[in-house]
Amino acid sequence: MISTKMQAALNEQVNKEFYSAYMYLAMSAYSNTIGLPGFAHWMRMQYEEETLHVTKMYDYILNQGGEVELLAVEKPPKKYGSPLEIFKKTLEHEQYVTSLIHKLMDLAVEERDYATQTFLQWYVTEQVEEESNVNDIVAPLRMVGDDKSGLMLIDRQLAGRVAPTPLPVK
Ligand code: FEO
C-alpha cells in the first residue's frame, strides 16, 4: 500500500519518464535529419529504455493497490543543436531526472515507506549508469570538436547500442 501523496508523486514521475521517452524520440528524429544515423539509433534505444522506466513504475503503483493517472506529456523541442549539444542536453536532462528520483526517495524516507524506498533504489542505481553512459559520449565529442571524420567514427560507435531487455508483461 502507498499513501495518496506517494501515489501522486509516482504518477508525476511516470509523466516525467514519458517526457524523457518523448524527448529522446524527438532527438532521434533530429539526429536523422542532420545526417547522424548512429546518434539516431542510440536515441531510439534510449527512447525504448525510458518506456521501460515508465512501465516499471506504472506496474509498481498498480501492484501497491494504487491508482495510475496518466498526465498530459509536455511537447519536447524539435531541434537540439550540434552533435555535442545533443549529448550535453541529454546529460543535463539525466541530471534533472536524478534529482527527481532523489526527491521521491526523500518522500519515501519521510513517510517511512520501506517498500517504495526499495523500489526506488533500482532507479537510483539506474541514474548513476545513465549519467555515466552519457558522460562517456560527451567526453569524446568534446575532443573531436568539428572534425568530421572523428564525428563519423563516434556515429558508427553509437550505431552499435543494443536494445534494452524488455520487462516481463504482468
Ligand atoms: Fe528514466 Fe533516463 O531516466
Give me the CATH number covering residue 121.
1.20.1260.10
pLDDT score recorded for residue 161: 96
CA angle 3, 4, 6 (to 5 degrees): 65
Ligand 1 and 50: CB distance under 6 A: yes
Note whether residue 24 is domain-resident: yes
**Ligand 1, atom nearest to 17 Cα:** 1
pLDDT score recorded for residue 52: 97
Q: What is the pTM of this model?
A: 0.96
Note whether residue 170 is domain-resident: no
Tell me the CA end-to-end span of the chain in Å, nearest whole number.
Answer: 18
**Position of cell 500500500?**
1
**Ligand 1, atom nearest to 93 Cα:** 2
CA 26 – ligand 1 centroid, Å: 15
pLDDT score recorded for residue 166: 86
> Atom 2 in ligand 1: which residue has the minimum CA distance?
94
pLDDT, tens digit, 9 for 90 and up, residues 68-84? 999 999 999 999 999 99
Note whether residue 137 is domain-resident: yes
Range of the domain at 100: 4-158
Note whether residue 166 is domain-resident: no
pLDDT score recorded for residue 102: 98
Note whether residue 12 is domain-resident: yes
Dihedral sign from CA coordinates of 51, 57, 62, 63: positive
pLDDT score recorded for residue 170: 63
Ligand 1 and 90: CB distance under 6 A: no
Note whether residue 147 is domain-resident: yes
pLDDT, tens digit, 9 for 90 and up, residues 146-164? 999 999 999 999 999 999 9
CA 1 – ligand 1 centroid, Å: 25
Note whether residue 165 is domain-resident: no
Ligand 1 and 93: CB distance under 6 A: no
Note whether residue 122 is domain-resident: yes
CA 158, CA 152: separation in Å to the nearest integer? Answer: 10
Give the residues of the chain that fall short of pLDDT 70. 170
Report how many domains make up the chain.
1
